[in-house]
Amino acid sequence: MKFILRAAVFHFLVLYAVHVLAINIQSKPAFNDEGVIQVKLNDPVSLVCTLGVTKAEEELVWLRNDAAVLLKEGNNKNRSSLCVTPTYEDNGAKFTCHQKGNSTDQVSVTLDVTFAPNISETVEVTVEEEDDLVLECDTRANPLVSSVTWSLNGSLVDLLADGLSVINNGLTSQLTSSKVKKTLHGGMYTCTVDSPMYGSSSRHFQVTITDKTLKFPLGPMIAGLVVVGLTALLAVVSRWRKIVKCCK
Ligand SMILES: *[C@@H]1O[C@H](CO)[C@@H](O)[C@H](O)[C@H]1NC(C)=O
Ligand SMILES: *[C@@H]1O[C@H](CO)[C@@H](O)[C@H](O)[C@H]1NC(C)=O
Ligand SMILES: *[C@@H]1O[C@H](CO)[C@@H](O)[C@H](O)[C@H]1NC(C)=O
Ligand SMILES: *[C@@H]1O[C@H](CO)[C@@H](O)[C@H](O)[C@H]1NC(C)=O
């Protein structure tokens, strides 16, 4: 009996020692083995931090990437919950919970915020013949997009034949042409971006090429007038000198 009691007490002490320090995070949606919560942009995430058995009331703190999160009164005693509506900036953000004034024991989770590329609307573009054409699609997405394609009037653009170039830098895809021609370059352009998670999305550009207008070269014109004016003035001045001289 004594032995059993001692064993029970011992057992209790072991459990107590383990539990008293144990800090826990539960989340919805749940995190994976690496402590990563995958969530869609704007879908709320609930995080609850709890202490195991505590002798006294313990205060908890939350950090978001090492900056303290402001908690409401009472939402920090033994248990503390956070609700996060993830924005683009929350992608990769790390949330850590520990006891106030003692970060020896701490637990963290990281958000993996998924989002589709933002390219849905139709844009109208008007360019003058022989000017530059620049069309741009936002290709930022999480997970990364798997492909970007450009088409003109429904068929894939022929970069060489149409004198076009495409630059993808991971953030945007840019289709450019210098000196556009009405016959070659007018029409409906579409950039189509494929996401492994969100499927395909497209942005349309209705490109109208207008006749070249004669631009009045105001800059050179003014410079020209100034030169003419100065020359006339100098002529008068030099003649004036002559006139003055012969009057002596
Ligand atoms: C926190 O835990 C302690 C010890 O178990 C308890 O006395 C106290 O009432 C708890 N406080 C809250 C706000 O739950
Ligand atoms: C901080 O917490 C750890 C484990 O939770 C504990 O061992 C240590 O004594 C605590 N330090 C202070 C100063 O309370
Ligand atoms: C999506 O793109 C449009 C136009 O390019 C922009 O006005 C809007 O702010 C973008 N939305 C987000 C969430 O970035
Ligand atoms: C694309 O279609 C429009 C309207 O049908 C047409 O005016 C334009 O010439 C076409 N563009 C090309 C490059 O074929």
CATH of the domain at 19: 2.60.40.10
Q: Closest Cα partner for 186 from 164, 208, 203, 167?
A: 208
- 46 plus 105 within the same structural domain: yes
Measured CA to CA, the distance from residue 205 to residue 36 in angstroms comes to: 38
**Residue spans of the chain under pLDDT 70:** 1-21, 215-248
State whether 32 and 82 are in the same domain: yes
Distance CA 199, CA 169 (A): 20
Q: Are 8 and 108 in a shared domain?
A: yes
Question: Does 230 fall in a domain?
Answer: no
How many distinct structural domains can be found in the chain? 2
Residues at CB less than 6 angstroms from ligand 4: 152-153, 184, 186-187
> Within a domain: residue 235?
no
Report the alpha-carbon distance of residue 180 to residue 129 in Å, rounded.
Answer: 6
> How close is the Cα of 41 to the center of ligand 3, in Å?
14
Residue 64 near residue 95 (C-beta atoms within 8 A): yes
Distance CA 122, CA 190 (A): 9
Q: Is it true that the peptide bond before 117 is cis, omega within 30 degrees of 0?
A: no
Paired tokens of 3: 């032995």
What ranges make up the beta strands (E) of the chain?
23-28, 36-40, 45-51, 60-64, 67-68, 79-84, 94-99, 102-114, 122-128, 133-138, 147-152, 155-156, 165-168, 172-177, 187-195, 199-210
**SS3 state of residue 36:** strand
Q: What is the percent of the chain where pLDDT is above 70?
A: 78
Ligand 4 atom at shortest distance from the alpha carbon of 187: 1
User: Do 157 and 56 lie in a common domain?
Assistant: no
Which residue from 91, 92, 148 is spatially nearest to 119, judged by alpha carbons?
148
Q: From the CB of residue 150, how many other CB atoms can be counted at a distance below 10 Å?
A: 19
Does residue 171 lie in a domain region?
yes
Question: Residues 30, 52: one domain?
Answer: yes
Which of 90, 114, 138 is a domain's end point?
A: 114
| Pocket of ligand 1 contains residue 54 by CB under 6 Å | yes
Ligand 1 lined by 174 (C-beta under 6 Å)? no
Residue 7 in tokens:
């064993």
State the distance from the centre of ligand 1 to the C-alpha of 19, rounded, in angstroms. Answer: 14
Give the residue, by CA position, lying nearest to ligand 4 atom 8. 187
Residue written as token pair 């969530």? 39
Q: Are residues 11 and 108 in the same domain?
A: yes
pLDDT score of 41: 97
Q: 121 by DSSP, 3-state: which?
A: coil
Q: What is the pLDDT of residues 1-48, one digit of tens each?
A: 444 445 454 444 444 444 445 899 999 999 999 999 999 999 999 999
Distance 112 CA to ligand 3 centre (A): 21
CA of 207 to the centre of ligand 4 (A): 10
Instruction: Report the pLDDT value the prediction gives residue 220, as an integer from 0 to 100.
Output: 62
Q: Is there a single domain that holds both residue 85 and residue 157?
A: no
Instruction: Compute the distance from residue 215 Cα to the ligand 4 centre, in Å.
Output: 27
Range of the domain at 27: 2-114
Kindly state whether residue 99 falls inside one of the protein's structural domains.
yes
Whether residue 140 is found in the same domain as residue 187? yes
Same domain, 74 and 33: yes
Q: Which of 21, 57, 100 to mutate to test the pocket of ligand 1 (most atoms within 8 A of CB)?
A: 57
CA dist., res. 14 & res. 231, Å (int): 103
3-state helix, strand, coil in the chain (%, to 5): 25, 45, 35
Residue of minimum CA distance from atom 9 in ligand 1: 57
108 and 8 assigned to the same domain: yes
Domain boundary among 63, 88, 114: 114
65 found inside a domain:
yes
Say yes or no: 148 and 110 in one domain.
Answer: no
Kindly report the length of the chain: 248
Co-location of 110 and 7 in the same domain: yes
Ligand 3 centroid to Cα of residue 118, in Å, is 6
**Residue 142's pLDDT is what?**
96
Task: For residue 188, give the ligand 4 atom closest to its CA.
Answer: 1
Domain presence at residue 132: yes
Identify the pLDDT of residue 57: 82
